[in-house]
Amino acid sequence: MKSLPDPIRSTAEKIRKLEIQGARNVAIAAIEATETLAGQTKAKSKKEFLQQLLGAKETLFASRETEPLMRNAVRLIISQVEKSGEKSVNRLAKIVSLASQHFLEDLENSNERIAEIGTKRIRNNSVILTHCHSSTVTHLLERAKREGKIFEVICTETRPVFQGKITAKEMLDLDVKTTFIIDSAARFFMNQVDLVIVGADAITSEGNVINKIGTSTVALVAHEARTPFYVVSELLKFDPATMYGDYEKIEERNPNEVWKDAPRNLNIRNPAFDVTRRDFIHGIICEEGIISPHSIAEVMQRKYPWVFE
Ligand code: RUB
């Protein structure tokens, strides 16, 4: 029989190469890969199965370092196996499958709830600016459109990898009037914008938000123009390690993405994300409602106490 491809390695590779992008999609792919691994396992004992899962965790976590949603999901799924009194590998694999499905359902429900709440913030005939490609943002805009809201969208191209093009295409598919601008034109257009909505990769215990590089510049510009700036995010993008003093690591990507045939000896830096301070964020639109970034740790303690375990 032909050996099956390692679902973890191939998924981690796709995540690393941005073939799968955006925190939600990354988490979903990692969960599905973990479930597939469990379904295919030939482990003979619980100990061996757990070793496989922990190896998978390490590979997935290393694929992109600024992805707490993926980390929270994979940790939760593995903890179900660790905690279980079950010895049979088959039954432990079933536990992984159930935990994975459950997490994915919750994620879907949160996404829908965020769209429902966020849509109410969109006024008719408004102009919305977004940066990068966030599936949470585009889902919200899709729902707003479906509910008959009339609005237009400005998308930044999002150098160096141009995820803004994905957003622009999705908006056109929805029949939304869309304008595509270079990142540095954000200030030029901000006075015409009624609302900025961006996604998140990570939220720290202090309520700062980490999202695609350039987000914090957009937030500063929005602040100066007094344009409301909202983040849409599942609460589980919260990184519990920041509560205990760790800084969220910011992934630094290959300089080739910035300049392929760059002159030798040129120092090129390519951070994938930046930190937007809570003071510039009007609210985080999450599955619990629109919350102040300041309240994130309390909301997490109440809603998802297990992340702190
Ligand atoms: C994508 C990005 C998105 C967040 C949120 O960066 O910064 O805004 O991940 O996305 P990259 P979502 O393209 O480098 O992954 O709302 O889909 O989770």
Active-site position among 155, 201, 239, 286 = 201
Ligand 1 geometric centre to CA of 67 (Å): 9
Asked if residue 46 has pLDDT above 80, the reply is yes
Task: Give Cα 257 distance to the centre of its chain.
Answer: 21
The angle that helices 46-63 and 7-16 make with each other, rounded to 10 degrees, is: 10
What residues form DSSP beta bridges with 285?
A: 232, 290
H/E stretch holding 291: strand 289-291
**Strands 151-156 vs 177-181: parallel, antiparallel or unpaired:** parallel
CB 200 within 8 A of CB 210: yes
Asked if residue 120 has pLDDT above 60, the reply is yes
Active-site position among 132, 155, 183, 286 = 132
Q: What is the dihedral of CA 175, 216, 74, 9, to 10 degrees?
A: 80
Cα-based angle 223, 288, 60 (whole degrees, multiple of 5)? 85
Closest ligand 1 atom number to CA of residue 211: 7
Average pLDDT of span 105-119? 98
pLDDT per position as a tens digit, 286-301:
999 999 999 999 999 9
Q: Give the residue among 254, 272, 280 at the shortest CA–CA distance from 26.
A: 272
Where does the pLDDT of residue 4 fall: very low under 50, low under 70, confident under 90, or very high at 90 and above?
low
Average pLDDT of span 17-30? 98
Asked if residue 2 has pLDDT above 80, the reply is no
pLDDT per position as a tens digit, 137-189:
999 999 999 999 999 999 999 999 999 999 999 999 999 999 999 999 999 99
Q: What is the pTM of this model?
A: 0.97
Residue 206 and residue 229: Cα distance in Å, rounded?
17
Does residue 239 have an active-site annotation? no
pLDDT per position as a tens digit, 133-149:
999 999 999 999 999 99
H/E stretch holding 78: helix 68-83
Which residues have C-beta atoms less than 6 Å from ligand 1? 18, 21-25, 132-136, 163, 199-201, 211-212, 272
Sign of CA dihedral 75, 203, 131, 271: negative
Task: Give Cα 90 distance to the centre of its chain.
Answer: 32
Does residue 132 have an active-site annotation? yes
Where does the pLDDT of residue 3 fall: very low under 50, low under 70, confident under 90, or very high at 90 and above?
low
**Strands 209-212 vs 202-203: parallel, antiparallel or unpaired:** antiparallel
Average pLDDT of span 246-274? 97
Ligand 1 geometric centre to CA of 11 (Å): 17
**In 10 A of CB 232, how many CB atoms?**
26
* Helix %, strand %, coil % of the chain (to 5): 50, 15, 35
Residue 297 and residue 206: Cα distance in Å, rounded?
7
Look at ligand 1, atom 1, and give the residue with the nearest C-alpha.
22
